[in-house]
A and B are shown apart, each in its own frame.
Chain A
Amino acid sequence: MNKINKLFKVIIIGLMVFLTGQILINPLIAVSLSGTEIMELVDENQFLESARMESKMEINDGRRVSEKEMVTYIKNDGEDTKANVEFINPRDRGARYLLLDNELWMYFPDAEDLVRISGHMLEQGMMGSDFSYQDALESEKLTDLYNFELIEEDILNNRPVYIIEGVAKDGEEVTYYKRIFFVDMERFVVLKEEMYAREGRLLKLRTVEEVEEIEDDRWIPTRMVMEDKIRQGTETIYDIREIDLSYNISEELFELESLQ
């Protein structure tokens, strides 16, 4: 009987030590976070200082499925994002995009001039996909653009999530007036996102199918499906096949001269 009592005490003490340790180690469990704080953690999680990615886009426009493969180089100094995208699938081979000083430049093998994309063109589907150029190139921190509010906590695909509503800050020019994020409570990665127009119409739905731990306790979505709800019966699957955060990226890649 004494043995049982001792064993019971050991278990209770052990549990208390474990829980105390968890609370000390991960203060987030003990402290309730605001919507903005959660999204700051998401921003930090998704922030890539430097990366080389190989990815694939599968575009289903309801009639035909086409695939785009690309290699992307990204550098971000915390204020500006520079990105160089090179398409490597046969149909688009040689086409390159350069995001520089918040402007998008394009190079096409059959064109003599670089093309600068601006205005409404940025709202068009990138390569006919459900991702607009603005979706793909969004580099500002979400917390700079939106006011966030934690709506509720829920379960999504067996994962506990925060449901957070972001409404555009006054004076900020954003593509979507309102966005609802389903943020994984433990990994601080967005698992689902709904994007709305000012009048409340659902414009796009992004669902994350896979997330990957790229560094210790740092997760990013690596496979997602975007559905443009204005178009009918279309979806685009974006799949990051390889990501290298330690790749030595030459600055030349981000110069206009090197685009041609």
Chain B
Amino acid sequence: MIDYLKIAWRNLSRNYIRSLIAILAIGIVVAIVVFSRGTIVGFGDNSYNMYIDYQFGHARLINDDYEHRQSLLSLDYTIDGLEEADLNGMIMEIERLEEVEYILPRIQFGAVYSGDNLIRMAGIGIDSEREMFHGVIERDLIIGRLPEADNEIVIGSGLINELGYDYGDRITFMYSDVYQSLQGRTFEVVGISETGFSEIDDNLFYLPLNTTQNMLGLENQVTELMVFTDSRANSYSLKNELDLLISERDTRDIYSVIHWEEGNPMLEILLEFDNFWALIYAGFILMGSVVVISTLKMIIRERRGEIGMMSALGLNNKDIMKIFIFEGSFMGILGSLSGVTIGGFLTYYLSIHGLHVKAYADTVAGTGMLIDSAFYPIHSLENLIISFLFGGVIVTIACLYPAWKASRLDPVDALKVDA
């Protein structure tokens, strides 16, 4: 076996240029795979965390009828408790569940600003104390603090720019309460947030939950409970626990528990693509393997006499096949090594400096999809190992056919041709 490996290794150097081209081809496609995997995983992770942090939690508890009307920001379908327990009692009960880390009660509603133009937006009533624990809105503040008193708001950076106001200003918005009464109210901007997601920055403002409940006529009600567990991996256990709770409390017909993966059709598409990417990576490497296969076929044609000689000297078909498989595998391994090196460096660099796609994020913002204007590919050893194995294994498998063809050559015919 060692001898065959040595022969295969030595054969690589018999035509440097040809071997180098084959190795380079594999190297480029493996580098693309490393970079693509890092980017896709980074993009996915970024998006998934964004959806979880800002919109769904790991699971979201809503009124059953709210699900199809939430795009209208309906106030008619709310959460107001479990049987005899009011909203606070319900939250305490959910917090006692094993998988639950914390809960964010929220109310979403529509608002407008009427100036020279009519500007539509969404307000979100938040419990500032709980949001501080969650940390996301506070982290995104570029100035100021979370709203605490009655008429204080934190507003998205894009939205406040569009309105032409600034930190500390007072702004009057209009909104309809649950009784369809058009109301107006003046708020003080105590903070400006910037997430990098134009869908959020250009459309949202946050205000205290108590104020929201009071002004909308939704005392002791919220439109959603975002429930968090310790990790994405446990999110299905969390959903099951919540499902069980609402079933036990006879509120199955009233409330729904939505797992974060089911929260948005665009997100579901993104998740389905996760499985699809593996096929695309395999396709890439197969493309690179074509070069290796062609190279091997060329080598076999050139070495027909040599193959015939080896057969005549007593090497059986398997041994000949092994030599060519090893030669192809060396190309695959060397190519994959160079690929993970190049791709690894590129991914590492961008994982620090980020990929800036603001124009793309702005374009898709209208679809309701959360896309960050800059995202960071994930550089990981796992990615390098998987990509390396992917390259090595696929190229080796691709070499089986030309190697097998070489092993089937008739030694007499092979020697004749050479002569």
A residues with CB within 8 A of B:
59, 61, 63-64, 66, 68, 91-92, 95, 106-108, 110-113, 115-121, 125-129
Contacts and interface: CB of A to CB of B under 8 A. Distances in A.
Contacts of A128: 176, 179-182
A119 B184 contact: no
A110 B216 CA distance: 13
A121 B118 contact: yes
Do most interface residues of chain A lie in helix, strand or loop, or is the interface mixed? mixed
Contacts of B182: 95, 106, 126-128
Nearest to A62: B76
B180 A112 contact: no
Q: Kindly state the interface size class of chain B when it binds its partner.
A: 20 to 34
Identify which of B174, B184, B185 gathers the most chain A CB atoms within 10 Å of its CB.
B184
A121 B181 contact: no
A129 B182 CA distance: 10
B184 A68 contact: no
Interface in B127-178: 170, 172, 174, 176-178
Contacts of B181: 66, 68, 91-92, 95, 127-128
Contact of B217 (A91, A117, A119, A127): A91
Identify the 9 closest CB pairs spanning chains A and B, nearest first.
Answer: A128-B180, A108-B184, A111-B184, A112-B186, A110-B185, A66-B179, A111-B172, A113-B172, A92-B181
12 contacts: A66-B181, A95-B182, A106-B182, A108-B174, A108-B183, A110-B183, A110-B184, A115-B114, A120-B118, A126-B182, A128-B176, A128-B180
Given A112-B172, A115-B172, A91 B179 contact: yes
B117 interface: yes
Contact of B183 (A59, A95, A112, A129): A95
B245 interface: no
Nearest to A111: B184
B282 interface: no
Interface string B101-116: 0000000000010100
B389 to A, nearest CB: 58
A64 B76 contact: yes
A105 to B, nearest CB: 10
B180 A127 contact: yes
Nearest to A116: B114
B183 A119 contact: no
A117 B185 contact: no
A40 B311 CA distance: 110
Identify which of A64, A91, A111, A121 gathers the most chain B CB atoms within 10 Å of its CB.
A111
A119 to B, nearest CB: 5
A140 B215 CA distance: 36
Nearest to A87: B181
Given A91-B179, A110-B185, A128-B181, A121 B170 contact: no
A10 to B, nearest CB: 65
A107 B170 CA distance: 16
Identify which of A91, A95, A120 gathers the most chain B CB atoms within 10 Å of its CB.
A91
A61 B180 contact: yes
Contact of B76 (A63, A107, A115, A117): A63
A108 B173 CA distance: 10
Contact of B114 (A68, A112, A118, A125): A118
B338 to A, nearest CB: 59
Nearest to B180: A128
Contacts of B180: 59, 61, 64, 66, 125, 127-129
Contacts of A129: 180
A113 B183 contact: no
A86 to B, nearest CB: 14
A117 B179 contact: no
Nearest to B115: A116
Contacts of B177: 91
B179 A106 contact: no
Nearest to A110: B185
A112 to B, nearest CB: 4
Nearest to B170: A112
A115 B186 contact: no
Contacts of B179: 64, 66, 91, 128
Contact of A119 (B117, B172, B174, B185): B117
A121 B116 CA distance: 12
A61 B215 CA distance: 20
Contact of B112 (A108, A113, A121): A121
Identify which of A107, A108, A126 gathers the most chain B CB atoms within 10 Å of its CB.
A108
A118 B118 contact: yes
Contacts of B174: 106, 108, 115
Contacts of A120: 118
B114 A121 contact: yes
B74 to A, nearest CB: 9
Nearest to B177: A91
Given A64-B179, A121-B112, A128-B176, A115 B118 contact: no
Interface in B48-66: none
B64 to A, nearest CB: 14
Contacts of B217: 91
Contacts of A117: 114
A68 B180 CA distance: 10
Given A64-B179, A115-B184, A127-B181, 10 more contacts: A59-B180, A95-B182, A106-B174, A108-B185, A111-B172, A115-B172, A121-B112, A121-B114, A126-B182, A128-B176
Nearest to B74: A63
Contacts of A126: 182
A118 B119 CA distance: 11
Contacts of A92: 181, 183
Contacts of B117: 119
Nearest to A92: B181
